């Protein structure tokens, strides 16, 4: 693989690019007004700033509306099968550490049919940037409830209301030992770009939940928190090292109680010094887990930004290290010697 | 150390012998058999082995369910099966005797550990009376050897607890059989010293037991004579004794070395395929990456991802895993990327018989995916042939940019035979031939890369792993436009692509050898098989020829596509007999493809065919052909399915 690997180390400077260079010639076919458009724009606008090469960038997806994403990026890409993108990406990323591997998925794709692959990719800490488009509905199959749909949701497949407790994607990722966990939303390009940049720069598996509006089957699911009139009071921007506070005047805040729970309070009531100071790098994921559950759904003040950013050994690098170690100890593989490694005998 | 040259007892030469070691799962019978085999291989015998063990790791001790056996056939001439029925049964307890008695021919020798025939053990094996005393074994030559008590006795003073000392009794049995068949003991002594170097007490107990067994044969007034099986005349060369699973693993490494493609194995543990993972995981210095995935689907998915990135992507599994991998195989067919799926078949359906052999996944390999989704199928025929078959499967996968299924089975996986090591220069060359530059000029005159422009001869598309500027492209499971690879829902294009994918696979027929035929003038019956039935068919054919009859044998390594001349070959015979360890899968394919009246001869008992059964089945066809007036390819009168012959 000498001709392919380490493309970034060849010394050739990365060409300056624009958004256009990262856009493929394929016509984008999402429904007009879909939140996916703004996520695509954010990614295409971010790429020129990342200092990476198109030929060393790969977008992989499973099945669902968001999974069309790779077709629209002028990079290498694969539109695979339902739920399996993290598994396929694991094989690619561990064998090609020189590549930037992005996984684009949705709430059905990787919290339902592909749940197993998602949690294990996070646990292993494979070097992937995972963007989970959460619209709380099955769009491509035209409107059934998803694993993130709220209880009692009436959909085509649940005319009497759904009976299922939804997943909290951030809690799930934290429980799966993810080292980088963040949330953003499709109404704020700048926040998306900044969050994606952080996720990309993180070494190991990074997980970003994107609140994304499906204007056909679940319109307005996040309007109550992402709408321009609600954002100030409903979105809690997490900033590392700063007290967690929000509101037009910063009048609301979050405190951490002695029992470990977190709660939204009025700063005036508790005083600024009582507010929880956000620490992304805290080794123990307990507090990040509490923050991930501060809101019970997109109708209460909800944290966005990076909840957790902790370095752990990356899977592919560890695999490569074992190979280097074995080669250093035994010398490079010798096929002739391998075939004679058992008891061999010679017939004259 | 005993001096074998001074053996005072008479010594008889044998051409071949089949020995079956049987005991409790915890008795170490596989190890005992394996050691005896290695010694015999080093001595130069031809041999074939058949490990036969239960799915339970440790069924309750002493019960029939817990019996584990290892059968080895050693010979001074070329042999192809582990033997129909043992000449010698070593039974470590009553259950081992009971479980194996039905396959022993009258007159066979039984060596029992008489210490284990107490009331409790007899009851566990459902014996109402002691078979050593009730006359039920009168048709056999029975040797009653107090293996447990001698083993415990000789270990005294070695510092081992009596309970632990008793566990060395399998080495006593090995020593005894080593004497009986005049095996050198030095190799085994060295082996015990090396293997148990970290446990000096165990090493000492095993050594004492082994030597005691050897001396017992020599000195006890029990055995009148010892036997010898001389080395077989083998072709000049270096040999190793190898299992099918090891041969697959080494074949994968060889394919990686020959192609320059780094090897990536994505897999999930499953019997009887796991040993391929175990073996490969030891050899990281070959730039081998082994990935134990969270499930079967992830195993093949990761292998496909690695293939997309320019590695040799491989997944290994058995029946239940093959089911789960079907969807990803379909994606690989659509993506047209090289990928190797190795199915070590076992008894099905469902969990079935995990440790028993079967070849019932052929139709699944052929048709087990939705849509029109052909892929090449290669099948190994003997344990050592797994090496060559693996290289061939990789060659096809890489050259034709396609997933390939390699079929092995439980018998090949665990069975062994001597393998003459190939010359490195004789291994096939495998050229990845990655795309390096644009291959199309678009309407505006720009040089662009189209991922589905095909090679005119092979119809293979370019393999363009990420990393090369100018070749950026997107592929996926949606139907692609011919050439550009863009998503296309056009009906006409789908028809074109469906037929192109099929033609690419069908065209491989021109790139593989003609039917492997062992023919003699005037034969009217052809026996055609695939996979691990090779040895039993060859043995059956040999017996038929020894009777003065004519019969031809063909064995298929390529099952999709078939060799180009196969239809013509089948048409030459009055009778075509298809033995399979399933209920008739190849026979269905042959009938469908060539309108030939293929006669199916099948068994599904979890064990390989016996040569005698094969002989009888062939004989039946020869007699039927002789009595029939229909011409070649005509309608036979024999039953077309089931156990056509008495076996």
The answer to whether the Cβ–Cβ distance between A84 and B328 falls below 8 Å is yes
Question: Does pLDDT of B3 surpass 90?
Answer: no
Unique residue bearing structure tokens 């069924």: B59
Task: Give B298's contacts in chain A (Cβ within 8 Å).
Answer: 84, 87, 90, 116-117, 120
Partner residue facing A4 (CB), from B254, B288, B465: B465
CB pairs under 8 A between A and B: 218
Backbone angles phi, psi at B46, to 5 degrees: -80, 150
The answer to whether the Cβ–Cβ distance between A92 and B477 falls below 8 Å is no
Work out the number of other CB atoms within 10 angstroms of the CB of residue B488.
Answer: 17
Q: Does A318 touch chain B (CB under 8 A)?
A: no
Residue B299 to residue B400: CA distance in whole angstroms: 22
Q: Is B342 helix (H, G, I), strand (E, B) or coil?
A: strand
Residue A235 to residue A252: CA distance in whole angstroms: 11
Q: Reading across the β-sheet that carries B598-602, which strands appear in turn?
A: B516-518, B552-556, B525-530, B575-580, B598-602
Task: Give B234's contacts in chain A (Cβ within 8 Å).
Answer: 347
Q: Quick one: pLDDT at residue B637?
A: 38
In the 3-class helix/strand/coil scheme, how is B166-214 assigned residue by residue? Answer: HHHHHHHHHHHHHHHCCCCCHHHHHHHHHHCCCCHHHHHHHHHHHHHHH
- Best of B35, B39, B285, B289 to disrupt the A interface (most A CBs within 10 Å) is B285
In the 3-class helix/strand/coil scheme, how is chain A assigned residue by residue? Answer: CCCCCCHHHCCCCCCCCCHHHHECCCCCCCCCCCCHHHHHHHHHHHHHHCCCCHHHEEEEECCCCHHHHHHHECCEEEECCCCCHHHHHHHHHHHCCCCEEEEEEEHHHHHHHCHHHHHHHHHHCCCCEEEEEECCCECCCCCECCCCCCCCCCECCECCCCCCCCCCHHHHHHHCCCCEEEEEECCCHHHHHHHHHHHHHCCCCEEEEEECCCCCCCCCCCHHHHCCCCHHHHEEECCCCCECEECCCCCEEEEECCCCCEEEEEHHHHCHHHCCECCCCCCCCHHHHHHHCCCCCCCCCEEEEEEEECCCCCHHHHHHHHHHHHHHHHCCCCHHHHHCCCCEEEEC
The answer to whether the Cβ–Cβ distance between B313 and A333 falls below 8 Å is no
Residue A103 to residue A129: CA distance in whole angstroms: 6
Q: Across all residues in chain B, what is the average pLDDT?
A: 93
Partner residue facing B309 (CB), from A95, A117, A339: A95
The residue length of chain A stands at: 348
Residue A184 to residue A35: CA distance in whole angstroms: 12
Q: Quick one: pLDDT at residue A343?
A: 80
Question: Does pLDDT of B630 surpass 80?
Answer: no
Structure confidence by residue, pLDDT tens digits, A12-60: 678 889 999 999 999 999 999 999 999 999 999 999 999 999 999 999 9
In chain A, whose CA is at the least distance from the CA of B329?
A81
Q: Quick one: pLDDT at residue B497?
A: 98
Chain A: nearest CA to B467, how far in angstroms? Answer: 5
Residue B220 to residue A180: CA distance in whole angstroms: 73
Partner residue facing A76 (CB), from B294, B335, B472: B472
The confidence band for A10, taking pLDDT boundaries of 50, 70 and 90, is: low
Structure confidence by residue, pLDDT tens digits, B41-92: 999 999 999 999 888 888 888 999 999 999 999 999 999 999 999 999 999 9
The answer to whether A267 and A276 are in contact (CB under 8 A) is no
Whole-number Cα distances in Å, A234 to A253, A269, B572: 11, 19, 82
Q: Quick one: pLDDT at residue B576?
A: 98
Structure confidence by residue, pLDDT tens digits, A219-252: 999 999 999 999 999 999 999 999 999 999 999 9
User: What are the DSSP E strand ranges found in B31-147?
Assistant: 46-52, 67-75, 88-91, 109-113, 141-145
Chain B: nearest CA to A293, how far in angstroms? Answer: 27
Question: Does pLDDT of B476 surpass 70?
Answer: yes
Work out the number of other CB atoms within 10 angstroms of the CB of residue B355.
Answer: 18
For residue B519, the 8-state DSSP code is: -
Q: Does A106 touch chain B (CB under 8 A)?
A: no
Work out the number of other CB atoms within 10 angstroms of the CB of residue B644.
Answer: 20
Work out the number of other CB atoms within 10 angstroms of the CB of residue A304.
Answer: 24
Q: A58-72 burial by CB neighbour count: b if 16+ within 10 A, else e?
A: bbbbbbbbbbbbbbb
Structure confidence by residue, pLDDT tens digits, B120-154: 999 999 999 999 999 999 999 999 999 999 999 99
* Between residues B399 and B26, the one the model is more confident about: B399
Whole-number Cα distances in Å, B235 to A181, B46, B381, B420: 63, 11, 20, 8
Partner residue facing B239 (CB), from A319, A322, A347: A347
Q: Across all residues in chain A, what is the average pLDDT?
A: 95
Structure confidence by residue, pLDDT tens digits, B513-542: 999 999 999 999 999 999 999 999 999 999
The average pLDDT across A121-141 equals 97
Residue B143 to residue B310: CA distance in whole angstroms: 61
Residue A243 to residue A222: CA distance in whole angstroms: 25
The average pLDDT across B15-27 equals 94
The answer to whether B578 and B590 are in contact (CB under 8 A) is yes
Question: Does pLDDT of B642 surpass 60?
Answer: no
Which tokens sit at A55? 């030929």
Percent of chain B with pLDDT over 70: 96
Structure confidence by residue, pLDDT tens digits, B252-276: 999 999 999 999 999 999 999 999 9
Question: Does pLDDT of B634 surpass 50?
Answer: no
Chain A: nearest CA to B548, how far in angstroms? Answer: 33
Categorise residue A241: left if φ over 0, alpha if ψ from -120 to 50, beta otherwise.
Answer: left
Which tokens sit at B236? 């000049």
Residue B527 to residue A322: CA distance in whole angstroms: 49
Backbone angles phi, psi at B106, to 5 degrees: -60, 140
Residue B388 to residue B254: CA distance in whole angstroms: 10
Categorise residue A143: left if φ over 0, alpha if ψ from -120 to 50, beta otherwise.
Answer: left
In chain A, whose CA is at the least distance from the CA of B290?
A319
Residue B634 to residue B598: CA distance in whole angstroms: 10
In chain A, whose CA is at the least distance from the CA of B38?
A343
User: DSSP letters along B365-420, please?
Assistant: HHH-SSSS----EEE--STTHHHHHHHHHHHHHHHHT-EEEEEEEHHHHH-EEEEE
The answer to whether the Cβ–Cβ distance between A4 and B466 falls below 8 Å is yes
Residue A86 to residue B331: CA distance in whole angstroms: 15
Question: Does pLDDT of A273 surpass 80?
Answer: yes
Unique residue bearing structure tokens 């072709």: B235
Chain B: nearest CA to A333, how far in angstroms? Answer: 4
Question: Does pLDDT of A268 surpass 50?
Answer: yes
For residue B512, the 8-state DSSP code is: S
The answer to whether the Cβ–Cβ distance between B241 and A60 falls below 8 Å is no
Q: A145-183 burial by CB neighbour count: b if 16+ within 10 A, else e?
A: bbbbbbeebebeeeeeebeeebbbbbbbbbebbbbbbbb
Residue A166 to residue B555: CA distance in whole angstroms: 56
Which tokens sit at B158? 């070695």
| Cis bond before residue B272 (omega within 30° of 0) | yes
Angle subtended at Cα A103 by Cα A100 and Cα A106, rounded to the nearest 5 degrees: 160
The answer to whether the Cβ–Cβ distance between A90 and B239 falls below 8 Å is no
The answer to whether B531 and B407 are in contact (CB under 8 A) is yes
Structure confidence by residue, pLDDT tens digits, B559-589: 999 999 999 999 999 999 999 999 999 999 9
Cα separation of the two ends of chain B: 46
Residue B101 to residue B89: CA distance in whole angstroms: 9
Which tokens sit at B570? 């089948």
Whole-number Cα distances in Å, A28 to A69, A212, B501, B623: 9, 17, 28, 71
Task: Give B477's contacts in chain A (Cβ within 8 Å).
Answer: 79-81
In chain A, whose CA is at the least distance from the CA of B233?
A347
Question: Does pLDDT of A209 surpass 90?
Answer: yes
Work out the number of other CB atoms within 10 angstroms of the CB of residue A220.
Answer: 12
Q: Quick one: pLDDT at residue B646?
A: 31
Furthest CA-CA distance within chain A: 95
Chain B: nearest CA to A55, how far in angstroms? Answer: 5
The confidence band for A11, taking pLDDT boundaries of 50, 70 and 90, is: low
The residue length of chain B stands at: 647
Structure confidence by residue, pLDDT tens digits, B283-316: 999 999 999 999 999 999 999 999 999 999 999 9
Which tokens sit at A91? 């094989």
Task: Give B42's contacts in chain A (Cβ within 8 Å).
Answer: 343, 345
Residue of A140, A283, A135 whose CA lies nearest to A213: A135
Residue A51 to residue A221: CA distance in whole angstroms: 35
Q: Quick one: pLDDT at residue B163?
A: 81
Structure confidence by residue, pLDDT tens digits, B167-193: 999 999 999 999 999 999 999 999 999
For residue B97, the 8-state DSSP code is: H
Residue A260 to residue A242: CA distance in whole angstroms: 19
The answer to whether the Cβ–Cβ distance between B466 and A120 falls below 8 Å is no
User: How far does CA A269 lie from the centroid of its chain?
Assistant: 36
The average pLDDT across A67-96 equals 98
Poorest-confidence range of A189-193, B546-550, B583-587, B633-637? B633-637
Which tokens sit at B397? 């996968």
Q: Quick one: pLDDT at residue B632?
A: 46
ipTM confidence score: 0.96
- Best of A44, A57, A95 to disrupt the B interface (most B CBs within 10 Å) is A95
Residue A184 to residue A139: CA distance in whole angstroms: 20
- Best of A78, A91, A345 to disrupt the B interface (most B CBs within 10 Å) is A91
Q: Does A272 touch chain B (CB under 8 A)?
A: no
Strand partners, B339: B403
């Amino acid at each position: 693989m000498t001709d392919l690997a380490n493309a970034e180390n060849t010394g050739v400077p990365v060409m300056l690019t624009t958004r256009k260079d990262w856009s493929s010639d394929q016509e984008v076919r999402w429904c007009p007004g879909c939140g996916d458009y703004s996520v695509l724009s954010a990614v295409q606008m971010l790429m020129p700033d990342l200092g990476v090469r198109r030929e060393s960038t790969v977008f992989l997806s499973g099945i669902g509306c968001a999974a069309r994403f790779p077709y629209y990026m002028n990079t290498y890409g694969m539109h695979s099968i339902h739920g399996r993108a993290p598994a396929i990406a694991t094989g690619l990323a561990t064998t090609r550490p020189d590549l930037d591997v992005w996984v684009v998925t949705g709430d059905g794709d990787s919290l339902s049919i592909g749940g197993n692959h998602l949690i294990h990719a996070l646990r292993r800490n494979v070097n992937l940037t995972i963007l989970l488009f959460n619209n709380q509905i099955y769009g491509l199959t035209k409107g059934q409830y998803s694993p993130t749909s709220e209880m009692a949701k009436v959909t085509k497949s649940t005319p009497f209301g759904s009976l299922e407790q939804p997943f909290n994607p951030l809690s799930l990722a934290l429980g799966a030992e993810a080292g980088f966990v963040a949330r953003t939303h499709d109404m704020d390009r700048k926040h998306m770009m900044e969050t994606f940049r952080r996720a990309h720069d993180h070494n190991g598996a990074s997980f970003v939940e994107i609140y994304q509006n499906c204007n056909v089957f679940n319109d307005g699911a996040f309007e109550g928190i992402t709408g321009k009139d609600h954002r100030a009071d409903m979105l809690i921007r997490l900033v590392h090292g700063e007290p967690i506070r929000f509101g037009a005047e910063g009048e609301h805040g979050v405190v951490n109680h002695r029992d470990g729970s977190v709660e939204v309070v009025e700063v005036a009531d508790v005083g600024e010094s009582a507010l929880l100071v956000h620490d992304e790098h805290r080794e123990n994921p307990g507090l990040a887990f509490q923050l991930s559950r501060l809101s019970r759904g997109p109708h209460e003040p909800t944290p966005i930004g990076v909840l957790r950013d902790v370095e752990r050994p990356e899977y592919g690098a560890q695999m490569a290290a074992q190979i280097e170690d074995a080669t250093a100890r035994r010398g490079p593989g010798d096929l002739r010697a391998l075939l004679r490694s058992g008891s061999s005998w010679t017939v004259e | 150390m005993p001096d074998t040259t001074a053996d005072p007892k008479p010594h008889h030469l044998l051409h071949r012998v089949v020995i079956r070691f049987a005991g409790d799962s915890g008795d170490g019978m596989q190890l005992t058999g394996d050691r005896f085999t290695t010694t015999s291989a080093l001595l130069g015998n031809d041999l074939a082995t058949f490990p036969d063990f239960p799915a339970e790791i440790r069924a309750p001790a002493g019960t029939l369910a817990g019996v584990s056996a290892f059968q080895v056939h050693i010979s001074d001439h070329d042999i192809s099966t582990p033997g129909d029925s043992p000449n010698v049964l070593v039974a470590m307890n009553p259950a081992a005797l009971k479980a194996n008695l039905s396959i022993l021919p009258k007159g066979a020798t039984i060596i029992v550990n008489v210490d284990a025939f107490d009331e409790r053990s007899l009851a566990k094996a459902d014996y109402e009376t002691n078979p050593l005393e009730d006359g039920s074994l009168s048709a056999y030559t029975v040797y009653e050897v107090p293996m447990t008590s001698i083993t415990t006795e000789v270990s005294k003073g070695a510092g081992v607890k009596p309970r632990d000392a008793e566990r060395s009794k399998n080495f006593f049995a090995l020593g005894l059989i080593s004497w009986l068949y005049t095996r050198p003991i030095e190799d085994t002594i060295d082996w015990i010293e090396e293997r148990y170097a970290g446990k000096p007490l165990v090493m000492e107990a095993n050594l004492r037991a082994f030597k005691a067994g050897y001396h017992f044969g020599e000195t006890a007034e029990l055995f009148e004579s010892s036997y010898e099986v001389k080395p077989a005349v083998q072709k000049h060369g270096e040999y190793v004794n190898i299992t099918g699973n090891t041969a697959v693993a080494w074949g994968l490494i060889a394919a990686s070395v020959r192609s320059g493609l780094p090897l990536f194995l994505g897999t999930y543990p499953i019997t009887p395929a796991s040993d391929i993972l175990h073996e490969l995981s030891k050899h990281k210095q070959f730039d081998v990456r082994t990935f134990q995935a969270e499930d079967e689907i992830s195993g093949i998915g990761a292998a496909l991802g690695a293939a997309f990135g320019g590695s040799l992507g491989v997944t290994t599994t058995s029946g239940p895993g093959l089911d789960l991998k079907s969807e990803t195989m379909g994606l690989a067919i659509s993506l047209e990327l090289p990928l190797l799926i190795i199915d070590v078949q076992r008894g099905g359906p469902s969990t079935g018989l995990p440790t028993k052999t079967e070849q019932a996944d052929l139709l699944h390999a052929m048709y087990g995916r939705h849509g029109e989704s052909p892929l090449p199928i290669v099948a190994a025929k003997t344990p050592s042939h797994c090496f060559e078959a693996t290289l061939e499967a990789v060659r096809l996968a890489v050259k034709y940019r396609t997933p390939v299924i390699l079929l092995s089975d439980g018998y090949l996986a665990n069975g062994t035979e001597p393998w003459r090591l190939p010359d490195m220069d004789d291994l096939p060359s495998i050229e990845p031939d990655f795309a390096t530059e644009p291959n199309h000029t678009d309407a505006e005159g720009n040089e662009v890369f189209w991922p589905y422009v095909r090679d005119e001869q092979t119809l293979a598309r370019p393999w363009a792993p990420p990393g090369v500027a100018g070749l950026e492209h997107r592929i996926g499971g949606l139907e692609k436009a011919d050439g550009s690879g863009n998503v296309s829902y056009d009906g006409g294009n789908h028809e074109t692509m469906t037929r192109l994918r099929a033609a690419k696979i069908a065209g491989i027929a021109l790139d593989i050898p003609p039917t492997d035929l062992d023919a003699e003038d005037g034969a009217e019956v052809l026996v055609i098989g695939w996979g691990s039935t090779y040895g039993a068919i060859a043995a059956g054919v040999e017996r038929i020829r020894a009777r003065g009859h004519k019969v031809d044998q063909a064995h298929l390594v390529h099952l999709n596509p078939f060799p180009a001349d196969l239809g013509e070959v089948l048409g030459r015979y009055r009778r075509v007999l298809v033995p399979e360890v399933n209920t008739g899968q190849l026979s269905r394919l042959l009938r469908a493809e060539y309108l030939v009246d293929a006669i199916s001869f099948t068994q599904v008992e979890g064990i390989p065919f016996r040569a005698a059964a094969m002989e009888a089945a062939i004989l039946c066809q020869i007699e039927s052909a002789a009595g029939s007036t229909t011409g070649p390819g005509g309608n036979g009168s024999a039953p077309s399915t089931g156990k056509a012959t008495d076996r």
